Structure 1
């Protein structure tokens, strides 16, 4: 599980609430998230604002920073967050471990697409499929503005297919699935894709054979093929290159590694939306 540090800018709050937040954030590191509190001038380095919406002074201070520079995603803490708009994230008082961490999770997912539970493992990481953060990620993926990019994920593991669907959905990519090489080749005849994520070990024809079939088809000449495998051997990489794969990912695959491959293989105008539709 990867670990990323988010800077938090505090606006308002009593000394007691600040001590509670400091204690809660220490617990977050064990969940693949690290937070660093910033106050005063240090707020310029923050990634997320935590705002005391019940304090007029804190609101004025926060609103001044919005006028001075680019707005930060904000977690609003207030007596009644039900008055917020659907695109705003808030939690109610009193501040508890569950409320604060779930609120920060929602911000990290919506604005930074960060869910460390979404690590693609060779066993599919099935225990992650029931997590709160994963459920939030699935909801967020459904609301992300579509980029127009289409991907085909070929893997015989249902958990891997589900996790890959959420991961790619967070980047605005539409995803289809196939559990076998034969089904993948049928999909490729019926639909147009920009990129294929292809497991090396499949029932029936394996990933190398599927990749070779793709490269023999002139209609699929520009298709990017990313080979997924649980084995990081030099021989497998050579076989993948000979089969014509565009890139090679070894499980476990974290979000940052997947994002790197997407940035590498997909032109920026594709990955960031060449014909967008309304979304979240």
Structure 2
């Protein structure tokens, strides 16, 4: 039975994503941001064990060696690829141009995996079809059990957006909703402090210019309280001078985003403060020590 794109959005499936040809910094950014897909129906992650087979390749199209390596991997309609790079002609797989637009990239990966799932379902229903490793997958994978679907648990992390602008609150709601965050809103710094004392938040997006207590004062209060000091504070401001950023750092903020907020920067920033990202960073530090 072909895979239906209109499946229950409460059910997700994990796919093994292999990146090829990116620098260490680019790979770190990709890995961090792809953690957000754990909240989407299609979740992309690196192999958790050596025996896990790749489901889809993500390749730096500007790197000739990477394109040569991809050819050696034997991508196919069953195990497709998505390219990232400058606009080029006659590429064998769909290209997402730089700078990366994260939602566009996620949507292209989803599209390719839907097509691949349809091809896999069609192939499994075709009697007598020989599996060839260079075209599909290894013959020994033919009778391997299907990777089970996993149930999405409800929202795991709570986020507080503090801004007196209804437009900004609506923007943040639309960008965070697809990733199943539990999002609360406050229109003033005083209300934000009260809310943060009652409910733990992974991340707090904080406007600087608000009536009453400004963002710098709110950040200091959040970071000076034992109940809220571990909450990541991301300041939002149309002021982006070095002095403004210094004031934000001095107040204790963890990151600073300029307004209007760029969607890609928002996603990559919040990915840095997920518990899974912190756990990975701590593990790397422990290994280095």
TM-score (norm 2): 0.46
Question: Which structure features the higher share of helix residues?
Answer: 1
Could you tell me the TM-score, scaled by structure 1's length?
0.47
